[in-house]
């Protein structure tokens, strides 16, 4: 097949790499989002997909918008593409483009659709305590991840797995299933099946406010939030008026007898009381400081205190 690729973040790289290195298909160009300022210094950075594409000599297009974009419309119309592959591009595809390629726009989505349609399926699956998730290879339609499905693959979510590690696994799984689906589509051996829209759930864009920890919640719920919200916005609370991010943690089930939010210093570091037990941070970052492991973080607390006061969520 003659293909175009649309994607932006690291999640898209295994799929892009598979298409670059296969001899079965011809990847003609890449469409990605514009370079953007990032980090503390707000230096302009290229999307990971752009960097990989340029390394392999592929033409790269970075439209500010796909809507009413004559250049992109002409590219898709005149490109002679059998399909356009979309992996975490980050924007909706205008309906007028969808029917131009022979097989349409194929999407690698990081959930078992119709569950978790939307922008943050990996985060939402972990946050809601799901034990399994997966990837779907689907045909994009005018809705939000509502198109028919060619293929799916399921995988377990590890009890300690966070959004970063799960994303890495699903990106590789998605690339494998994409290549398998393309082969079957080209051979005419697979047809997409409609989703059961009555079973749809949604995964809206994450907000910074969602990272705020409520220490009155049970430890499993808080632990899931910590795992789900890395690398952004990170689960956070406040300590002495400063934001304290908890980057990774485990938990212990027990009746503490302590007020939720009490931060305890012990020989291994710190732990925080919540409903039904303790959250045991592994890595923390106080506002304006670098990230530290729990033991190093505890060294910055007063040595003669075991109870360091209330952490308000």
Closest CA to 105 of 56, 75, 74, 138: 138
Per-residue pLDDT, averaged over 175-184, amounts to 98
The reported pLDDT for the residue numbered 267 is: 84
The reported pLDDT for the residue numbered 293 is: 96
- What does pLDDT average to over the chain? 94
Q: What is the tens place of the pLDDT at every residue in 32-42?
A: 999 998 877 77
Task: Report the percent of the chain where pLDDT is more than 70.
Answer: 96
Shared domain check, 162 and 145: yes
Q: What is the tens place of the pLDDT at every residue in 138-164?
A: 999 999 999 999 999 999 999 999 999
Per-residue pLDDT, averaged over 43-69, amounts to 96
The reported pLDDT for the residue numbered 310 is: 54
Shared domain check, 217 and 83: no
Domain count, the chain: 2
The reported pLDDT for the residue numbered 41 is: 74
Q: How many whole angstroms separate alpha carbon 120 and alpha carbon 145?
A: 12
Split at pLDDT 50, 70, 90, the class of 312 is low
Shared domain check, 212 and 189: no
Shared domain check, 139 and 279: no
Sign of torsion over alpha carbons 34, 40, 43, 48:
negative
Q: How many whole angstroms separate alpha carbon 96 and alpha carbon 297?
A: 54
Q: What is the tens place of the pLDDT at every residue in 88-116?
A: 999 999 999 999 999 999 999 999 999 99
Judged against a pLDDT cut of 90, whether residue 299 lies above it is answered with: no
Element (H, E) at 75: helix 70-78
Shared domain check, 190 and 42: yes
Shared domain check, 297 and 182: no
Task: Report the percent of the chain where pLDDT is more than 90.
Answer: 88
Do residues 6 and 85 make contact, with C-beta atoms less than 8 angstroms apart? yes
CATH number at residue 71: 3.40.50.170
> Considering 182, 203, 224, which residue would you say is the last residue of a domain?
203
> Considering 164, 180, 203, which residue would you say is the last residue of a domain?
203
Per-residue pLDDT, averaged over 12-24, amounts to 97
Per-residue pLDDT, averaged over 67-75, amounts to 96
> Considering 203, 219, 245, which residue would you say is the last residue of a domain?
203
CB half-sphere exposure, 179, CA atoms < 13 A: 19
Judged against a pLDDT cut of 60, whether residue 304 lies above it is answered with: no
The reported pLDDT for the residue numbered 43 is: 86
Do residues 260 and 276 make contact, with C-beta atoms less than 8 angstroms apart? no
The reported pLDDT for the residue numbered 311 is: 58
The reported pLDDT for the residue numbered 308 is: 43
The domain of 186 spans 2-203
């Amino acid at each position: 097949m003659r293909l175009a690729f649309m994607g932006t973040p690291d999640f898209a790289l295994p799929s892009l790499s598979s298409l670059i290195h296969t001899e079965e298909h011809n990847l003609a160009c890449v469409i990605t989002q514009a370079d953007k300022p990032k980090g503390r210094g707000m230096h302009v950075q290229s999307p990971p997909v752009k960097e990989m594409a340029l390394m392999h000599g592929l033409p790269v297009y970075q439209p500010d918008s796909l809507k009413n974009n004559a250049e992109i419309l002409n590219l898709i119309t005149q490109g002679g593409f059998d399909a356009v592959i979309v992996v975490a591009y980050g924007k909706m595809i205008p309906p007028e483009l969808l029917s131009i390629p022979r097989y349409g726009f194929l999407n690698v989505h990081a959930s078992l659709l119709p569950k978790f349609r939307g922008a943050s399926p990996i985060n939402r699956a972990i946050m809601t305590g799901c034990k399994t998730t997966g990837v779907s290879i689907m045909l994009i339609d005018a809705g939000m991840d509502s198109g028919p499905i060619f293929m799916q693959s399921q995988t377990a979510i590890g009890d300690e797995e966070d959004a970063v590690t799960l994303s890495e696994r699903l990106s590789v799984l998605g690339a494998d299933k994409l290549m398998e689906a393309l082969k079957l589509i080209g051979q005419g051996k697979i047809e997409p099946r409609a989703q059961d829209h009555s079973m749809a759930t949604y995964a809206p864009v994450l907000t910074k406010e969602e990272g705020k920890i409520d220490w009155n919640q049970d430890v499993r719920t808080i632990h899931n939030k910590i795992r789900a919200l890395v690398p952004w916005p990170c689960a956070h609370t406040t300590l002495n008026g400063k934001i304290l991010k908890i980057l990774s943690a485990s938990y212990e089930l027990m009746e503490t007898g302590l007020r939720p939010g009490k931060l305890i210093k012990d020989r291994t570091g710190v732990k925080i009381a919540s409903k039904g037990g303790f959250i045991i941070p592994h890595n923390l970052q106080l506002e304006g400081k670098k990230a530290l492991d729990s033991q190093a973080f505890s060294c910055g607390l007063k040595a003669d205190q075991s109870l360091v006061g209330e952490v308000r969520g």
